[in-house]
Every structure is written in structure tokens, then in C-alpha cells.
A and B are shown apart, each in its own frame.
Chain A
Amino acid sequence: MTGPARVRDIVIVGGGTAGWMTAAALAKVIGTQTYSITLVESDEIGTVGVGEATIPPILLFNKLLGIDENEFIRETNATFKLGIQFVDWGRPGHTYMHPFGLFGADMNGVGFSHYWLRAVAAGGDPDNHRFVAEAEALRLGRFMRTPQKTPDKPQINYAFQFDASLYAAYLRRFSEKRGVKRTEGKISTVARHPESGLIESVTLADGSTVRGDFFVDCSGFRGLLIEGALQAGYEDWTNWLPANRAVAVPCDRVEDPGPYTRSTAVEAGWQWRIPLQHRTGNGYVFSDAFISEDEATAALMRRLDAPAQAEPRVLRFVAGRRRKGWVANCVAIGLSSGFLEPLESTSIHLIQAAISKLLALFPTTRNEPELAERFNRDLDLQYESVRDFIIAHYKVSTRDDTPFWRHCRDMAMPDTLQAKLESFRARGEVMVENHELFRETNWFAILYGQGLVPEGYHPLADVLSDDELKLRLAGIRAGIERRVAEMPSHEAFLRQCLEGVTRR
């Protein structure tokens, strides 16, 4: 080989959400004029996609693709999502929300939560949700986009809940329109260059070969390329996140679906409830060390709000992360790169994060070890911070009513999380690094929501006079109430979005 060959042919192994999101993004950004993009998938292999919930950065992805949001909503049976409602997490009978919005507004450079803690310490309203527009709208089942962002009307932060299969199909149409080639087939073997170890091609079950310069492994848990061929290794986080099974089942739609995902802590894990336009996604994430698959399935079915629309499907996983997501000329995106339970709806976000990172570090040649190293380091940090955030839900709970919850109570936690909890307990502060997805406002929502009440707060929050604090708090609250009062119900707004958009 004379000189390093430039990357021209890109092969995505595996369809599903990760595969088609990657394909769509590449098609949009690098195009298919100078690059060829091939996606290999098999109709035989089912995708995991059920009802899927997202977080607000999805809007950036949509924007990147330039898709019409209303059309997207129609095509994916999407609903709007303002946050997650956590039921029975801190203690049985207790409910809190993790809304997408900012908690109040910072003042004099000090986070709002500190002022709020001061007000609560002085006997103020301990309902933090009143100070988050999204939480208030969520509570009242209302929704509206922000027509024009102004200082007194900051953006309403939202995301979607949609049918993942429809989303994949939607993106497939988007990608194919832009020249992405879809190849039907199951991978049988992976060919690597004997010296460089670079992947040269994949061979399909029918014997055909798909050659490529750069491979994206979207093959799911199995990690056909990244693990199967390249043996990147897997870091197991079960000691911190004991859940290793999920059973999922759709049921009939509920009337007037709230603009939120519900997560209910149950005996050996938790259940999701994701309302879509046409049905509701349900699932039970559990640890088979504490409940059998059958028992869990029975429990899930028993607790459905409406008749099931299909047979429950069991998924098995191991919480953890691929030790290296980019090895040689292959990048793992989606479940092949790691798995974190969807408690905070981070799956699609982690796909999106990997795609962005891949685009940012897009390789010139087939072998770019420095870029790979950088990619891996950045993605590791992302994974770890999301991991800590999820663990916090289990750790910060007073539940001890089942062996599962007692196990959670007693289990170790990462030092990084320990440090965050300690600083939060001392003065309501969580030090968040730049790269972290969940910011102070998110940590506050869940830690406080789970029942961890800080013993103090930032000393500079005392600098504001009492009346000024009360007036500002009231001003924020009144502004939120005014804004929410203007909003139609979620259902009505959805209908409005769907009008005038014809279904394909």
C-alpha cells in the first residue's frame, strides 16, 4: 500500500435507531457525493426500539438534519416531553419531577437553588417545581413551544417521546433519499488486514462482501465488529447498576397523555411509561438476581394502565461500557458502545453524542489512532457522568422495603458520585464539569427530589436582602404561572401540530 488511503467508503453495520441516526447524519453532513455510505441490516433481526424517550438535545439533531418538526412528530407518532415524573423513588408514595427546564434564574452569579434553599429554610414553599416553567406545565399537562425567545420568556425546553421503529424508518427514508445505500443481510464474517488489523470488509450470509474504509458498528449489544472482530473489551458496571433485564410491552393509548415520561420505582427495579400518540410504551427494568423474568413480566402486565397491544418482550443487558469505542477503522455507536438503562432517557443522546464526536473527529485516513484516542476519552467521560447520575437515583433513596432496594442502599458508589453527594449535602452544591450532560439544575432536581435536603447553601445567597429575595422569587413564579397559563393542553397542541401535515 502506497501512502495512507483516504476514507471514502463508509459502512454502517446494523440498522435500528443508532444505525439510521448515524446514516442520516453522515448523509446530511458529509453527503454521498464524494463519500459512499452503506448500511447493512437484516430485516430478520428485530430492533430493540419500543416507545423511546429523548432529552432536549434531540432538537439539535433534528436541526442538523433540517427536518420539519411537525412532520417528524406525525411520522413517529411522537408526543412532547417536558421531563420525567419519578414515582415512589425517594420513598413509596412520593413523587417528584425532573423537568428539562432551568430551576429559577441565577442571581449575582449564584445558582438559584441556593436562594431557594435559603427561602425554604426561612419557611418558604418547599415545592421546587413551582420555579421551573417546564415542571409547572408538566404538572398541568400543558405544552407549547416558545414562539420567540425573549429575556423574560426563556426557551421552553422539551424533547419527544416517539416510536423508535417509526423513527428508524423515518430516518431510513431520509437517508435513502440522500443516497445512502441499504444492503439487506446478516453479517457472517469480518475481514481484517493481517498486518494493520484494519477491517477491510464484511461478508454477508449470502456470501456477498461489503468493503469499506471506515466502519460504524451499530449492531447492538453484540458489538459484531467492535467486540466480535476487534475485541475492544467491556467494562461491567453491574456492581453499581444491578439491573440487567428489561421487559417491554405496549398498551393502548391513554386519553390526554401528559407531556412526560413516568418512571415508577418498584420491587426490583423500575417501570417506564411512555405515552405516544397511538399507544403507550411500558417496560420494567429489573435485576434477575431479585426477581425472575416471569415474575417481572407478570408484575408489569398487572400494572398496565390499559390493555396490552402485544406480547411482552424481554431484553437482557449488562450495564457497562465498551472499553474502547473507536478501534482501528471502526467506531461503535449505540448499544454496541455500552449500555445504560433508560432511566434518564439517555440512549438516543449517547448515540447523538457519538455521532457528533465522530463528525468532529472525522478521519482523513483509515488509521487515525490520535483521533480514536480522543474520541474514546471524550465518550468515556460522557458515559461516566451519565452513569453517576443514574446511580444517584438508586443511592439517594430511603427505600429499604425489598432486598433490591436494600442492596442499592448498601452497594458502593463511584468516588466521583460520592464527592458530588457530599458537596450537595453540605451546601446544596454539585460541582459539574464542562463535559457533563447533566448540569447543576438536573442534579438538584433529582437529589432534592429523591429526598436529599442540603444542610446549607452557598454563603453568597445570603447577600440578597430578604424582601428582594421574596420579590424575585415571586416574580419568577408569577412569570412561570403566566407563561403556563398561556399554554394549551398537550393534547391540543399536538393536534395543532399535526394539522396540515399529511401523513406519508
Chain B
Amino acid sequence: MSRKVEQVLIVGRDAAAWLTALALQRAFGRTGVTVRVVELPSLLGPADVYAAVPSLTALHGLLGLNDHEVLAATSGVPVLGQRFSNWSGAGKPFVHGYDTQRVAIEDLDFLQFWVKARAEGLKVELEDFSLAAAAARQGRSPVEADGTQVETPVAPGWHFDGRSYVDLLRRAALSAGVEGRAAGVQAVSREGDRIVSVTLDDGLTVAADLFIDASGAEAVLIGDSPGAEFESWRDAFRADRILVASAPALTPLPGHSEIAAFPAGWLGLFPLRDRTAITAVYDSSVMSDRDVAQAIPVLCGRPVIGEVTVEPFAPGLRPGWVGNCVAIGGAAVALEPLDAILLHLIHTGLSHLIALFPVDADQMPEAPVFNAGFASHVRNIRDFQLTHYALNRRFDEPFWDRARDVPVPERLAERFRLFEARGTVAIYDDESFQEQNWTSIFVGHGLIPRSYTPLVDRVPVEEQMAKFRGLLARVAEEVRAMPEVESQFGGAAR
């Protein structure tokens, strides 16, 4: 008979550590599993932000976190998408909206009809048929000030102040029964690929059945695990710096994040209630830290307030589960915070971990399955991010020329080819982003299908046009039914 996993030790910091603690406590706390956290010093400054895609709402649900309380505690705001500007030089910005439904006419993807109509002269952008994009552009979201949501087929993403969010998670975890201790790691005792115990800098040695490394890029546990070599993705992602800063709050609050390309990388503006969080991800060989810091108020059109911090960044992935140690978040995977993906990467790791939570403390054949599944998920996310880079249309700028020229992974190249040929998105197992997401960014970046499926012609042209009009009218109507973000979270609500 197998020996049950009873002691879980999380060594880490910030959202990765506390989301993991709370998730494991909620999932297994009542089954006799003890969850302890060794909290390393936070890497978050006052300017940090967590931006999340809509899937986080489901995680919060499982964790017992209430939207209203989270928003209130974190100066948070809901957003219905991300607006990408300057990625095609002077081309029009587009909004990647968080629609939950793919629009279809007679079971055929609406895109197919749009491609046909466009070939025949239709001038309406695909984005105009996206409810989430339309609402985001108009500064609306389904979320009311009290956290309740208007019934509509979109799902909000979120912006939270980094430190407040972590404080909230820590409180929730501790009150759920997680044991926490602030300390550093002095030594890790190993036996083969397994970790026996961790000795802290306060002298305490802690043994456990399962260790979680949530320490971020430091990878304090998994970094030295045999076979956990980091696979660098520097060739694909040239940015080597992440800068965070703050600007005054936007009035009115927009319904989306702003992701703006600039000569050395991209700049994200994440509106919060009391400030606008800024993240710049860039290649320091193209623009120095100082130049970027100086460019930020210019690019944002707003002054920078408070502290500006710059951290090095090295993209890549390592096997997240080795022996009895599982890495969650930055210790397993380093991707740019593009597409509001960082919390989602934690979430993805946790979903895999909970689904495969080891049943036997002494042997964990789940590891390869976890690693394969997680890596496959991450690669798809990576490809989604690479899409932005690969399809950029900024010419004669070294950073962007290179981003276009560097070969993309074959699977992504195939996605491009298929989409261009037929407007079909190849969707694989382990996808975070669905067809509507891929479609939105493909078309947004200017990848327009050359042809459409002949099945479209089964629907009479007059009927197609009537459906188009109906869709636009429905979008307009549904958007009107959503409150303005400003009215719920800005101005007087602040």
C-alpha cells in the first residue's frame, strides 16, 4: 500500500507561493494534507501589477475568493481585453477581446463569413463583431461595483495591485489553515532526485513529502534538481529587461489594458483604481534602461510617479516536476507578461498539480505526465505570444525586423499557414487560448485568410447580410447593457 502525501512544503514568494498554498489547502486540506509556506522576501515593488486573463475568475472560485473583496483590496479593475497598438507601425490598433463565445452562423465559424464578405467589399472590421472588443473600446465591462456581473457572453480579465493581491492571498491562505514562516533557504538536503528537507536561515530544518518551488526565477529548490535544466528561449524572445513603474490613474478608466509596441519592445498600461501600472519589456541592447525610463512618460503621455524598477529577464522553461519537487510559476517557466499570462501560468501549473497530486509519497510517476502536459500548455502560450512578435509590421527597426525574421516553431508556422489558407485555427490539446483568441490576434496583426470554406455558400447571401446586421445590433445592445468601468470603479467610486 502506498504512503500518502501528508506534508507539503512550499518555498517561495508572492502570488505563486500563496496561490499554491491556498489552492492546495482548499483541495487537500481536509484530506489530512498539511500545507506550509516558507516565505522568501518579496520581489514586488509598489509599482508591480498582476494582470490576469478571465480564467483567473474560475481559480478564485475554487479558492473561495470573492470578486468584490479581491477588487476592493487590490485597487483592482475588470477589463474586457487588451488593446495592441503600434505593433504594425502606424496601422490601426486592435483589441483582443475576451469573448467567451465564438460567433457562428449555422454552426460555421463567423470568421468564414467575414472573410467572404470582406473579399466582396465589406468594410466592417472583424473586431466590430466582437462583443468584448466593442465593450472594451467603450470602457465597459459586465462587472458592477459590488462584484456581480451582468449576464453576457464575455468574461472579464483583471488588474490587481501586486502587493495588495499577495497580501490578500496570504491572509486567505493563513486563515484557511496554511502555516507560514518568513525565512530564507540555507541548504537543501537531497537524496538522488528527491528532496529530503530544507534548512532555513533561521536554523530550522523542515522535511516534507512534497516540495513546491514557488521562488520565481531564483528556482531555489528545482534549480539544482537533476534533469531540471532550463531551456532558454532567448532566440525567440529578445527582450532582456522588465521595467515597472506607475503613472496617475486614468480618467475615465478604460475597458482594456494597453499593449503598445515601441522600438525596443513593448509597453503595457494596466489601469488600476488609484494608479496606472506600467510594465515595459524590452531589449536593453536596443534602448538603455535610462532611455526607456525617459521614454515611458512620453509613450504613456503621462508623468511617471514613484519608483521605477528594472529587473533582468531570461525567457525559457524547465521540467517543473523532478522527484518530489514541483515548480510553480516563475521557477518553472519564464515568459514575458504579455497577454496577461503570468497568473495564468501559475494557474496552469496548479491545475496540472491538482489533477495529478501525487497519491504516493514514495513514487511519483505523475512527474513526466505533468511535465509533458505543462510544457505543452506553455509552448502554446509561448506561441501565442510569439504571434504578436512574428506578425509585427514595424519595418527598419532592428528589434522588430529580427522578431519577424526569426523562424517560429513549426507548429506555429503551421497555424499561420492554415489560418492564412482557410481562416481555420489549428487548436491542439493543452490550449489556454481558444479559437476566438487566436483569430482575434491573427486578424488584428493583419493575417487575413485567403479563402473560406465553401460551406459558407450554403447560407444565402441575403441571410448572411441579415445575420451581420443582427450581430452588430446585438453587440451594440449588449454593450449598452454593461456599465462603464469608470462608473463602477473610477471617480466617485475611488
Contact = CB atoms under 8 A, between A and B. Distances in A.
Majority secondary structure of chain A interface residues (helix, strand, loop or mixed): helix
Interface string B242-268: 000000000000000000111100010
Interface in A446-499: 462-468, 470-471, 473-474
B62 interface: no
A124 B261 CA distance: 19
Which of A124, A466, A471 lies at the interface centre, i.e. has the most chain B CB atoms within 10 A of its CB? A466
A467 B282 CA distance: 14
Given A462-B90, A466-B85, A467-B86, A123 B261 contact: no
A468 B395 CA distance: 12
Contacts of B354: none
Nearest to A475: B298
A470 B85 CA distance: 13
A384 to B, nearest CB: 39
B263 A467 contact: yes
Given A471-B295, A474-B295, A465 B261 contact: yes
Contacts of A463: 89-90
Which of A464, A465, A466 lies at the interface centre, i.e. has the most chain B CB atoms within 10 A of its CB? A465
A466 B85 CA distance: 8
Given A123-B301, A470-B301, A465 B295 contact: no
B89 A465 contact: yes
Contacts of A462: 90
Interface string B93-137: 000000000000000000000000000000000000000000000
Nearest to B89: A465
A468 B298 contact: no
Contacts of B394: 465
Interface string B285-325: 00000000001001101000000000000000000000000
Contacts of B267: 467
B393 to A, nearest CB: 9
Contacts of B261: 465, 467
Contact of B262 (A123, A464, A467, A473): A467
A470 B267 CA distance: 13
Nearest to B262: A467
A466 B263 contact: no
B86 A466 contact: yes
A471 B300 CA distance: 10
A432 B174 CA distance: 74
Interface in B262-287: 262-263, 267
Given A471-B262, A471-B263, A471-B295, A464 B90 contact: yes
Contact of B299 (A123, A124, A467): A467
B404 to A, nearest CB: 15
A463 B395 CA distance: 12
Given A462-B90, A467-B261, A474 B298 contact: yes
Contacts of B263: 467-468, 471
A473 B295 CA distance: 11
B494 to A, nearest CB: 22
A470 B299 contact: yes
A124 B297 CA distance: 12
A284 B295 CA distance: 48
A130 to B, nearest CB: 13
B226 to A, nearest CB: 45
A467 to B, nearest CB: 4
Nearest to A467: B262
Contacts of A466: 85-86, 90, 260
A356 B346 CA distance: 78
A465 B295 CA distance: 15
Contacts of B262: 467-468, 471
A463 B90 CA distance: 5
Contacts of B89: 463-465, 468
Nearest to B397: A468
Contacts of A471: 262-263, 295, 298-299
Interface in B340-394: 394
B388 to A, nearest CB: 15
Contacts of B301: 123-124, 470
A467 B86 CA distance: 7
Nearest to B394: A465
Nearest to A464: B90
A58 B49 CA distance: 59
A474 B86 CA distance: 17
A223 to B, nearest CB: 56
A465 B90 contact: yes
A123 B295 CA distance: 17
A29 B16 CA distance: 83
A473 B299 CA distance: 10
Contacts of A465: 86, 88-90, 261, 394
B298 A470 contact: yes
A170 to B, nearest CB: 48
Nearest to A118: B90
A464 B301 CA distance: 17
Contacts of A467: 85-86, 260-263, 267, 299
Contacts of B260: 466-467
Contacts of A468: 86, 89, 262-263
Interface in B53-100: 85-86, 88-90
Nearest to B91: A465
Contacts of B298: 470-471, 473-474
Interface string A303-333: 0000000000000000000000000000000
A109 to B, nearest CB: 15
A234 to B, nearest CB: 53
A466 B90 CA distance: 6
B88 to A, nearest CB: 8
Contacts of B86: 465-468
Contacts of A474: 295, 298
A126 to B, nearest CB: 13
A473 to B, nearest CB: 8
Contacts of B90: 462-466
Nearest to B295: A471
A465 B267 CA distance: 14
Nearest to A463: B90
A473 B89 CA distance: 16
B6 to A, nearest CB: 54
A474 B299 CA distance: 9
Nearest to B300: A470
Contacts of A123: 301
Contacts of A473: 298
A481 to B, nearest CB: 12
Nearest to B85: A466
B334 to A, nearest CB: 25
Nearest to A466: B86
B401 to A, nearest CB: 14
A273 to B, nearest CB: 37
A354 to B, nearest CB: 47
A124 B267 CA distance: 19
Contacts of B88: 465
Interface string B390-408: 0000100000000000000
Which of A124, A462, A468, A474 lies at the interface centre, i.e. has the most chain B CB atoms within 10 A of its CB? A468
Contacts of B295: 471, 474
A474 B267 CA distance: 17
A123 B301 CA distance: 9
Which of A462, A467, A468, A473 lies at the interface centre, i.e. has the most chain B CB atoms within 10 A of its CB? A467
B251 to A, nearest CB: 13
A301 B228 CA distance: 89
By Cβ-Cβ distance, the 5 closest A-B pairs, closest first, are A474-B298, A467-B262, A465-B89, A465-B86, A467-B86
12 contacts: A462-B90, A463-B89, A464-B89, A464-B90, A465-B394, A466-B86, A467-B86, A467-B267, A467-B299, A468-B262, A470-B299, A474-B298
Interface of B: 85-86, 88-90, 260-263, 267, 295, 298-299, 301, 394
Given A463-B89, A467-B267, A471-B263, 5 more contacts: A462-B90, A465-B86, A465-B261, A467-B262, A467-B263
